[in-house]
């Protein structure tokens, strides 16, 4: 994940605990209708109706469309019955995001608000994917802008360089890294985050960044459960950002890590 270099909109402070997935699910329903149902209707109109092959194609297309709506409805109700596998739903909701963001904009919703709701949904699916076990090799990715702007500690090289003076939230995060024995790194860009994920092969990732960077990061890291925590930006984008330590502790718990 990037350091939040593109920031968010003004001084947004929305995080996954303050925004539920419902808003995104409604927008995803609209996006599903526009990007899947309407093209499917066109295809069905073009296809001949009276051959065995076309009848099978009709059934498959209609089945996929209905399964999509059923999955949306069940997620909206918070049901635990998985009509589509969790990994497939994660992929599908990620694919729908651009169209859902456009639908949100038409309805007067900022991209960050849509993203916050999408991240809440993605987190729910990511933690469900762990299935009550423990994320054995967890990697935590931090944005550089979490570090106090005047601090000289070289936490980019190693978070253990933090002297824990308490001027920023890295002190609290490093303490939790030690009690929970997880890997943690400050990353300065999406390519570095991808390279770290490839090199360390974690079983899950917790990523902290602004909503926009988190959505981009989810597109880049497709094979793993990723729990996203949006930072808050009391001084504007990319400067002295903050993270809710309790939210981070909750994410560790959700991934089965209780600490020492
Ligand atoms: S807690 Fe203090 S030493 Fe550690 S990164 Fe923040 S400002 Fe630097």
Tens digit of pLDDT at every position of the chain (260 positions): 444 334 443 333 334 445 789 999 999 999 999 888 888 888 878 877 677 777 787 888 888 888 888 888 888 887 766 667 778 888 888 889 999 999 999 999 999 999 999 999 999 888 876 655 566 789 999 999 999 999 999 999 999 999 999 999 999 999 999 999 999 999 988 888 989 999 999 999 999 999 999 999 888 888 888 999 999 999 999 999 999 999 999 999 988 888 77
Crossing angle of helices 86-106 and 22-32, rounded to 10°: 90
Retrieve residue 8's tokens.
């968010």
How many Cα atoms sit within 13 Å of 102 on the Cβ side? 8
pTM above 0.85, yes or no: no
- The residue whose CB lies within 8 Å of the most ligand 1 atoms, and thus the one to mutate among 149, 165, 184, 245, is 165
Residue 134 φ/ψ, nearest 5 degrees? -125, 135
Cα 241 to middle of ligand 1, angstroms: 12
Q: What is the CATH number of domain 123-254?
A: 3.40.50
Q: How many angstroms does the Cα of residue 236 sit away from the middle of ligand 1? A: 19
Q: Which 8-state DSSP code applies to residue 12?
A: -
* Sign of the CA dihedral running 170, 16, 224, 180: positive
What is the CB < 6 Å shell around ligand 1? Answer: 147-148, 151, 153, 155, 162-168, 170-171
Identify the DSSP state of 84: S
CATH 3.40.50 residue window(s) in the chain: 123-254
Per-residue pLDDT at 231: 95
Give me the count of residues in the chain. Answer: 260
| 168 CA closest ligand 1 atom index | 6
pLDDT value at position 81?
Answer: 65
List 184's β-bridge partners, or say none.
Answer: 140
């Amino acid at each position: 994940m990037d350091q939040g270099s593109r920031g968010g909109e003004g001084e947004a402070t929305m995080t996954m605990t303050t925004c539920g997935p419902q808003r995104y699910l409604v927008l995803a329903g609209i996006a599903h209708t526009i990007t899947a149902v309407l093209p499917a209707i066109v295809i069905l109109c073009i296809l001949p109706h009276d051959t065995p092959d076309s009848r099978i194609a009709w059934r498959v297309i209609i089945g996929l469309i209905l399964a999509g709506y059923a999955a949306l409805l069940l997620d909206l109700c918070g049901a635990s019955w998985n009509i589509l596998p969790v990994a497939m739903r994660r992929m599908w909701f990620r694919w729908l995001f651009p169209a859902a963001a456009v639908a949100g904009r038409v309805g007067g919703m900022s991209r960050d608000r849509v993203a916050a709701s999408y991240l809440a949904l993605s987190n729910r699916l990511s933690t469900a994917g762990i299935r009550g076990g423990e994320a054995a090799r967890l990697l935590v990715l931090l944005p550089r802008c979490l570090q106090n702007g005047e601090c000289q500690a070289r936490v980019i090289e190693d978070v253990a360089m933090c002297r824990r003076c308490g001027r920023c939230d890295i002190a609290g995060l490093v303490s939790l890294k030690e009690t929970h024995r997880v890997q943690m790194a400050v990353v300065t860009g999406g390519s570095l985050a991808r390279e770290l994920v490839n090199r360390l092969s974690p079983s899950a990732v917790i990523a902290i960044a602004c909503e926009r960077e988190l959505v981009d990061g989810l597109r880049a890291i497709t094979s793993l459960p990723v729990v996203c925590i949006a930072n808050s930006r009391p001084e504007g984008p990319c400067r002295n950002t903050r993270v809710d330590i309790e939210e981070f502790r909750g994410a560790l718990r959700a991934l089965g890590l209780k600490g020492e």
